[in-house]
Homo-oligomer: A and B are copies of this chain.
Amino acid sequence: MSDQPSITVAELAGRLGGTVKGDGARLIREIATLERAGESGVSWVGSPDFLDQALCSEAGVLLVQDDSALPADRTVIVVSDPDAAICEALACLAPPVNKVEPGIHPTAVVSPDAVVTGAAIGAHAFVGTEATVGSGTQLFPGTYVGPRARIGADCKLWPNVVVRERVTIGDRVVIHPNATIGADGFGYLQRDGENRKIPQIGTVVIEDDVEIGANTAIDRARSGVTRIGRGTKIDNLVQIGHNVDVGEHCIIVSGSAMGGSSSLGHHSVMAGHAGISDHRKVGDYVQVAAKSTVMKDLKDGETVRGIPARDARRFLREQASLAKLPEWMQRLRGMEKRIEQLERMLKKED
């Protein structure tokens, strides 16, 4: 009845390349945390820190690296990397995948000179003149691919995604619903009390294996390109300004924003609602904490926090001091009075 597939412990172990100890015939239907998993559930012990929770867990089977601390009658699958194995287990238990039928849906509008061989073009999709959409790529219903845009192979553009003209997208890129790639950068020239639009004639390049969240906006460059490096993952509702350069394998969490012409190195992380101001250059392996805004250039490896963002330990020390400040204000008033008193006493003595 349910569309949730099931799998036996033994089959699952086979798929994960692991070794079963215990009841290989047990049927598994769901994946859950140690706390929530029940008899038909698989859970995992990512590190020895979770051992106590594992001992209490009612999960039907546990993925573990080492089962020596668990009771002998516990059903487990021993694997080398439980965190990676649970990801594979999720794939094993996934319901049927939502796919666009190969070919061009009769309601789609595809320019006769666009190249869409091997792609799946969904209902009400639009592909503009001289655009190319690679083989294995799926355009879900309502997507827009502008003139001369180039989408690589095996991409997924979920419903109502907009990719404007001349944008280039690599292979295996996933773009979630209602995201906008290649809108005009936000640039105006102030003259005579008015804002004159600066033409935004550049484009956007999204490299291979990037993922872009729902309702995220990545603006085209004024001239040249806005670039998102290979393997970078961008969450929902993120803003990437014109001429931004993001390196490879970054993580940019929901609500973050990068101002025009700013850059981020590789393997850097922006936590939720973080910001980088216009023109700032941020290095590799940098971590920007939630709701922090980077207002100066940052070197490789820095961890920053606050508005403006500063060294995270320094920020925490400042916050700890600030927490004590209201009480100290009282003490300071007292100290000042005691100094006055001492001064009076010494004056009297003179």
Contacts and interface: CB of A to CB of B under 8 A. Distances in A.
Interface of A: 3, 30-32, 36, 81, 83-84, 87, 90-91, 93-96, 98, 105, 107, 109, 122-124, 126, 128, 140-142, 144, 146-148, 158-160, 162, 164-166, 174, 176-180, 183-184, 186, 188-189, 191, 193-201, 211, 213-217, 219, 222-224, 231-233, 235-237, 239, 241, 249, 251, 253-255, 257, 259, 267, 272-273, 275, 277, 290-291, 293, 295, 307-308, 310, 314, 317-326, 328-329, 331-332, 335-336, 338-339, 342-343, 345-346, 349
Given A30-B223, A273-B293, A124 B142 contact: yes
Given A142-B160, A290-B293, A326-B317, A128 B184 contact: no
Residue of A36, A128, A144 with most chain B CB atoms under a 10 A cut-off:
A144
Contact of A231 (B194, B200, B338): B194
A-B CB proximity, top 7 nearest: A162-B177, A180-B214, A90-B199, A144-B159, A217-B236, A214-B217, A321-B325
A349 B30 CA distance: 81
Given A186-B236, A338-B343, 12 more contacts: A32-B223, A36-B224, A142-B144, A178-B178, A178-B215, A180-B214, A180-B236, A195-B232, A195-B249, A214-B219, A239-B255, A307-B307
Contact of A275 (B178, B291, B293, B338): B291
A162 B165 contact: no
Nearest to A141: B126
A336 B331 contact: yes
A178 B160 contact: yes
Contact of A98 (B123, B147, B179, B323): B147
B195 A233 contact: yes
A162 B164 contact: no
Contacts of A184: 174, 176
Given A87-B199, A109-B107, A30 B224 contact: yes
A223 B186 contact: no
A91 B199 contact: yes
A5 B256 CA distance: 35
A129 B279 CA distance: 47
Contacts of A259: 272
B186 A253 contact: yes
B189 A83 contact: yes
